[in-house]
Amino acid sequence: MNEFEKLAEQFRAFPGVGRRQAERFAHFIIRQKADSVEALASLLLMTKKSAHFCTLCGRLVFSTTEENLCSICASPHRDSSLLMIIEKDADLNHIERSGVYNGLYFVLGGVLPMRSEGAESNVRISELEQRLKDATDDFKEVILALSLTPEGEFTSSFLLKKLSDIRSGKNVIPITVLGRGLSVGSELEYSDRETLRHALESRRRTT
Ligand SMILES: [Zn+2]
């Protein structure tokens, strides 16, 4: 395999990129000036080196310092009695842009596949349990804000069962789900500000 083929092979490993597109990317790189390619190579490395996950919420953050917490988890201005469980970083960013919520988050990292019940895959269930256990006295409410897709709903009911131990006992943490407004089958990431605000205001207790 020559260098061109090796490069195309690397691009082919990208999500959604086929062989022909990978070769077009490789051709594009070859046509660039050497210093542009050098800048791209060092940017790739810098991005990789500065990327890490917030130790509290699991959100992807970019920082060249050894900072472990993201700006939201570290902020004294957030309502630390609320924990919203969302599926992915894009949902978090979307809710932040809408400005309708001022609590903390937990990024689940995905939803559970419906076909293999019990398989927790790379969804951060045990990390979530640990987060709640570590801060039982701090949270007054946990808000499940997963998408209203079949997998999202499946994951929500799985979490309700799973977290029942944690909220039972002395410190009961009420778990709520987003209320009316969100359309069935839609992903949270694509709902508008008013819909989000309405869904948040009309959230309901599950117990
Ligand atoms: Zn965080």
Q: What is the pLDDT of residues 52-106, one digit of tens each?
A: 999 999 999 887 776 788 999 999 999 998 999 999 999 999 999 999 999 999 9
From the CA of 195, how far away is ligand 1's center (Å)? 25
What percentage of the chain exceeds 90 in pLDDT?
A: 46
From the CA of 10, how far away is ligand 1's center (Å)? 31
Tokens 């201005």 map to which residue? 77
From the CA of 22, how far away is ligand 1's center (Å)? 35
From the CA of 56, how far away is ligand 1's center (Å)? 5
What is the pLDDT at residue 47? 92
What percentage of the chain exceeds 70 in pLDDT?
A: 87
What is the pLDDT at residue 202? 80
Report pLDDT digits (tens) over 111-156: 888 876 555 567 899 899 888 888 756 788 899 999 888 888 899 9
What is the pLDDT at residue 167? 56
Asked if 44 and 31 touch (Cβ cutoff 8 Å), the reply is no
From the CA of 151, how far away is ligand 1's center (Å)? 25
From the CA of 7, how far away is ligand 1's center (Å)? 35
Q: How confident is the model at residue 168 (pLDDT cuts 50, 70, 90)?
A: very low
Q: How confident is the model at residue 184 (pLDDT cuts 50, 70, 90)?
A: low
From the CA of 13, how far away is ligand 1's center (Å)? 29
Q: How confident is the model at residue 199 (pLDDT cuts 50, 70, 90)?
A: confident
From the CA of 88, how far away is ligand 1's center (Å)? 13
Window from 13-27, 32-46, 106-120 with minimum mean pLDDT: 106-120
From the CA of 30, how far away is ligand 1's center (Å)? 39
- Rounded to two decimals, the pTM is 0.76
Compute φ and ψ for 204, nearest 5 degrees. -130, 150
Output 117 or 110, whichever has higher pLDDT: 110
From the CA of 69, how far away is ligand 1's center (Å)? 5
What is the pLDDT at residue 66? 67
User: Which three-class secondary structure string do you get for the chain?
Assistant: CCHHHHHHHHHHCCCCCCHHHHHHHHHHHHHCCHHHHHHHHHHHHHHHHHEEECCCCCCEEECCCCCCCCHHHHCCCCEEEEEEEECCHHHHHHHHHHCCCCEEEEECCCCCCCCCCCCCCCCCHHHHHHHHHHCCCCCCEEEECCCCCHHHHHHHHHHHHHCHHHHCCCCCCCEEECCCCCCCCCCHHHCCHHHHHHHHHCCEECC
What is the pLDDT at residue 119? 55
What is the pLDDT at residue 186? 67
From the CA of 61, how far away is ligand 1's center (Å)? 8
From the CA of 177, how far away is ligand 1's center (Å)? 21
What is the pLDDT at residue 124? 92
